[in-house]
Structure 1
């Protein structure tokens, strides 16, 4: 774009305190946009590197874990284990089945075996739940009778020594906070939709080419108007807000201070845009599936590759440990030793 939107130092000094706050927020969003574009470009390379480094290890690890699952499953037929030992073995098998059910690295026969074992433990869990529910209902009936008796006796609560459920209280506070944030985002979206046209009309009134006698400037404004129309069609309120502020200061319109309502709206709309960009960045980093998490602030491309390499080292160590554990699992005595050491 040939039309220069940059504000000089002298023009910046003309900004009101409210406009300076918005300008800083706009600068932050522009940096977020640049960072997002850079990471989107680097995403494919990072994902390919991750696959080449980690997938072969995961392939071998899942094969070892399947052997553990199958070995322990076969050991259940042995009468060498106590009831307490069998509970631990069942728990280990069920956990392995749940994990391996999501694996994409097992062959068809292995998947069928995992599915069979997982189904068995699901049915077993459902049976225990039904049994527990029956017991709970009986206890609730007994409790109801006790409560009715207490009401009849008009028992008074000692409020001075009353203890509230702190966990539930904190949960309610978090829920209220989440609802408030959601309401704030919805309000921002609604206000943005209502004011998009107003901002657009203000800008077009300031830069309309038909009002420009200078042919060179008229051409520049024509190009800018096309960009503005594109932004309006795309409902890019961020760009239009920034342009409006820049144009007003570029024209020396210092007397037109923003009203409190305008500042409030612009701030909410820009913060919503910033939150959206941050969420997009988090989605990109989540797609890398890193165990060693990296902070979004001031992160560099090399940090991500270092994190992948660290994950690779940790995964190899886990593979080595699981292979060693499998050796013990192959014998009943070995399983008993793992149980006794608490490292099954």
Structure 2
């Protein structure tokens, strides 16, 4: 890893606020980048361990629930159930069958079998119920987005939402930026407010200028005509590719690091930078830090979503063993409960006792 680029503090002097902010932003950016790299390194190993320890337990739980649905269907084919018991058992069969169908891991024959099981006990067939749900969802999205979705043929929410996003993007691209709604005439700014606004605009403009200045110095120093031999030419080409990528990404830290590598700057050079120049550097670095923070947050949310984990604060890619242990424990509890339910419905009497217990638990939960 490249050396951290900071302004040194001499024993008999103190750094200015702009210098301290420059050093702090450098440190913060490096820490976020290290954390992003740690996620990239830890993700595949966690995925492998998750597939080996959690997924089999989930599959086991799903198998228990499927067998439970089949047993309940068998008992419903016999008489002797009260109206309340029959209704509760039918609701459970429909719920379990729906889970199996929506798992999307079935072939056409299996899906047809489970839909038939669902429809034998449902007031409304699975396809009709799903079509009704999708129609209601379409109407709601049409009201919210202004899109016409009547010609859209989809049978699940994920595809519907994906098509809506695509149409909204296409509509925005075709129409250009939407016209802004008329706004009230802005309140007249005071002299102090106008001055601060002008300063902010100037800082933003100068920040971009600073980025261009650093890039131009690098481009000049790395020009192929300055190469001493073929090997040096290849080195310059590789460094210039990094400079181009950093400039395109508005990565000031990347450009400054390249300057350090080719000895265009050193710690003393940075210490001699003017307050105005540091202020411009800090504006770019702050924006870069904010973007990296957003990228890190998205990566952590994606991790939790992929492995169906509860989002939590301070998730550390270097300490995922406890996270995996919790996931295993949670899924083991789910599998245990599914196995216990299956054991209860093996017999008719057991099914009746199990159903009474579920009703009692629901009364406790919902009062």
TM-score, length of structure 1 as denominator length: 0.60
Partner of 1:227: 239
Matched, 1:123 2:142: no
1:10-159 aligned at under 5 Å gives the runs 10=10, 16-103=16-103, 110-118=110-118, 120-123=125-128
**Equivalent-residue separation in structure 2 for 1:225 and 1:2 (angstroms):** 19
Partner of 1:162: none
Is the CA contact (8 Å cut-off) linking 1:62 and 1:103 kept in structure 2? no
1:275 corresponds to which of 271, 274, 294: 294
Instruction: Indicate the structure whose relative CO is greater, using CA pairs within 8 Å and at least 6 residues apart.
Output: 1
Matched, 1:314 2:319: no
Matched, 1:335 2:347: no
**C-alpha distance 261-200 of structure 1, shift in aligned 2 (>3 A):** closer
Instruction: Give how far 1:2 is off.
Output: 9.1
Give ranges in structure 2 of 5+ residues lacking alignment.
120-124, 136-202, 363-367
**C-alpha distance 129-295 of structure 1, shift in aligned 2 (>3 A):** closer
- Per mean C-alpha deviation after superposition, the further-off stretch among 59-68 and 109-118 is 109-118
**Equivalent-residue separation in structure 2 for 1:208 and 1:125 (angstroms):** 64
1:147-296 aligned at under 5 Å gives the runs 199-205=211-217, 208-209=220-221, 227=239, 229-233=241-245, 235-240=248-253, 243=256, 247=265, 250-251=268-269, 252-258=271-277, 266-287=285-306, 289=307, 291=309, 295-296=313-314
Instruction: Kindly tell me the number of residue pairs found equivalent between the two proteins.
Output: 274
Is the CA contact (8 Å cut-off) linking 2:42 and 2:317 kept in structure 1? no
**Equivalent-residue separation in structure 2 for 1:15 and 1:256 (angstroms):** 11
RMSD, matched Cα: 4.7
Higher helix share: 1
TM-score, length of structure 2 as denominator length: 0.57
**Equivalent-residue separation in structure 2 for 1:128 and 1:98 (angstroms):** 14
